[in-house]
Amino acid sequence: DKFFVNTITALAAKGATTIAYVVEEGSSVCAQVPNLAAQHNLSVLGSFNVSKSPTVETMVPVVEQLKALNADVVISCMYTQGCISYVQAMRKGGVVPRAQVLSACWGAEDFRDALGTDAQYLLGASPWDKSLQVTDNLTGWTPGEYSALFEEYVLMLPQYQAASAAGSLSSLLQAIEQVDSLNSSIVAKALRERTFETVYGHVAFDENGQQQYAPLLLQYNGLSQIETIWPATFASSDIVYPLPSWAWRDCFLGNNCSGAGSCMPDGSCECQENFESINGSKCVIVPEENKHISPTVKSVCLVMFWVNGITAIGFFFWTFLNRRSQVVRASQGSMLCAIAIGAFVSSTTILTLIQDDSGDDQHLAYSGEYAPANLACRLSVWLYTIGFVFTFAVLFGKMARVRQIFQHTTKISRVAVSMRSFMAIIAVMMAIDGAVIMAWQVNDPLKFKRTVIQTDVNGYPVSSVGFCESENSTPYVCLIFLLHLATLLYGCFLCYVTSGYGSVFSEAKYVSVSMVSSMQVLLLGAPVLFIVSDQPVANMFLRAGIVALNDFGILCFIFLPKIIAHHGQSFSLKSEIAVSCAATSGTTLRKPPDTLKLAVSSSGPN
């Protein structure tokens, strides 16, 4: 009647409230379970009887019913083969109660050998185990020391019967020593009234000479070693309750998260920082990915933008502040401001070129879904095109006017050059470029996409590159390139046909230099960009450099001569620049080229 006393007492103390039990034919030890459960306020949810030596197939339906009951504690009163089949059926069905207690099969070598690590964390009731924490008052041995000596002399592990005999003998000798007598009556009385510390535990006898001792509650630990769980005074370890799931055990006994994480109840791994789980079974260190992003190069590109931006803003305000000066009026200040604005807008393209997926914590760029970088890709085309149109439409218009003026001077006719024609050129160029870009953005918008080019053995990216791309961008890029190339070629042609009009038209000369410079940058930069198209850092730096060099060159060639002329001390230099500027601005010209120098003092803007 005392076999499961410590078992149910311990589990009730851990919070168990329900119980079920399985009885193999021929076993009677579970008969005490209902009464003990009632004493500890545990509800019995069900009981199951099985045939002798049941197979796994026989136990599977029983296990399924136990799973449905979901009892906190399941006690199995079965013999060795039945226990083995029962545990294997639990493993097969993935069923693990919060506490699984076994009886007769507990501790048997063939039971442990058959189940291996599946026996871990199972509970059992047994009269004795060497893990018992007690010291024999007669010999000074612990159960562990007694077991080692027994094995040394007998060449086998002691069973509880041998330990019980050793405990009984120790109790008798302790009683004799304590009463200091060999009188059987005196010794018997001492045995009935006293408790003795032995290798078998606390030994005490009732009036009938029977031991007042309940079997221990034992448990296999995570190393398949037996630990004493209850009574608490003899415990060698705390109880593992509830029992871990089969999935957790497979994780722990398998890869154990590679030693870099913790196994979760569902068998998955919760990995440490800088580690990630692969298929939920192991933790591996995430390699540092080389994304080919250079903060240094990005900083250099940013410096190029600020140099151009400050220069453009400075020239814009210089033009505004000196808008009434002869040099600025002759060059048409609004056109100079348009060039400065165009160069600034074009230079802002650099800001979009250095935008990448550095802040993409969710790795959206690998699928082309990282919105900030995608927006930068699309803006880069618009900003560059708008800047190009504002800048080169003005330069193109100036050179066209020079030619127009000198075509009419031989006829001594009046030539009126208006601001409206400039705006018409800008509008036409912007409409053409805008139509191409809009079709591009609607049909095949640019996206920033990162592509993995090398992975480690676990499939994690080691090296990757990110570019602005779309599936069919080539036709649009080629069309924009050809449009801009045609504009520059015609501009260079105008520069050539007006190159013989003399140094007096120095603004035309600097406009020509700007045109030719831009043409050179475009023709040289395009093939180099193609060569480094698969190298993100070099590609970014080269594109930013082309934009910065082109815009900075135009600003310097157009504005610096005028600033020098404005602040120079030679009136003749100012007058010469003014006359030449007048020829490329809204000037009414009536004299042929050869007479212009004679009319310097009388020439000027309308």
pLDDT of residue 586: 43
pLDDT tens column, 70-100: 999 999 999 989 999 999 999 999 899 999 9
234-260 residue pLDDT tens: 888 999 999 999 888 888 887 778 778
Q: Judge if 329 and 414 occupy the same domain.
A: yes
Give residue 56's pLDDT: 94
Q: Are residues 117 and 12 in the same domain?
A: yes
Is the pLDDT score of 585 beyond 50? no
Give pLDDT, residue 205: 82
Based on the domain organization, do 354 and 220 belong to the same domain? no
Q: How far apart are CA 387 and CA 477, in angstroms?
A: 17
Q: Is residue 599 part of a domain?
A: no
Shared domain for 206 and 222, answered yes or no, is: no
CATH code, domain with 175: 3.40.50.2300
Q: Give domain status of residue 59, yes or no.
A: yes
Residue 34 has pLDDT above 90, yes or no: yes
pLDDT of residue 576: 45
Q: What is the pLDDT of residue 507?
A: 62
Amino acid code (one letter) for 302: L
Whole domain around residue 278: which residue ranges? 256-285
CA nearest neighbour of 124 among 246, 1, 7, 5: 7
- 249 occurs within a structural domain: no
In a domain, 603, yes or no: no
Which of the residue ranges 12-21, 225-234, 529-538 would you say has the lowest mean pLDDT? 529-538
- 5: phi then psi, degrees, rounded to nearest 5: -60, -55
For the segment 9-24, the average pLDDT, to the nearest whole number, is: 94
Residue-level pLDDT at 296? 93
**Residues 330 and 348 reside in one and the same domain:** yes
Whether the per-residue pLDDT at 324 is higher than 80: the answer is yes
What integer is the mean pLDDT of 298-313?
95
User: Does the pLDDT at position 578 exceed 50?
Assistant: no
The model's confidence at residue 601, banded by pLDDT at 50, 70 and 90, is very low
Verify that 141 and 95 share a domain, yes or no: no
Q: Same domain, yes or no, for 267 and 356?
A: no
* Confidence category of residue 596, pLDDT binned at 50, 70, 90: very low
CA distances from 15 to 9, 128, 482 (A): 10, 25, 81
Query: pTM for this one?
Result: 0.57
In a domain, 590, yes or no: no
Q: What is the DSSP string of 403-419?
A: HHHHHHHTTT------H
Residues 84 and 233 in one domain: yes
- pLDDT band for position 552 (cuts 50, 70, 90): very high
Residues 179 and 230 in one domain: no
CATH number for the domain harbouring residue 299: 1.20.1070.10
Q: Over the chain, what is the mean pLDDT?
A: 83
Q: Are 143 and 97 in a shared domain?
A: no
Tell me if 589 is assigned to some domain.
no
Tell me: do 198 and 318 sit in the same domain.
Answer: no
Same domain, 361 and 481: yes
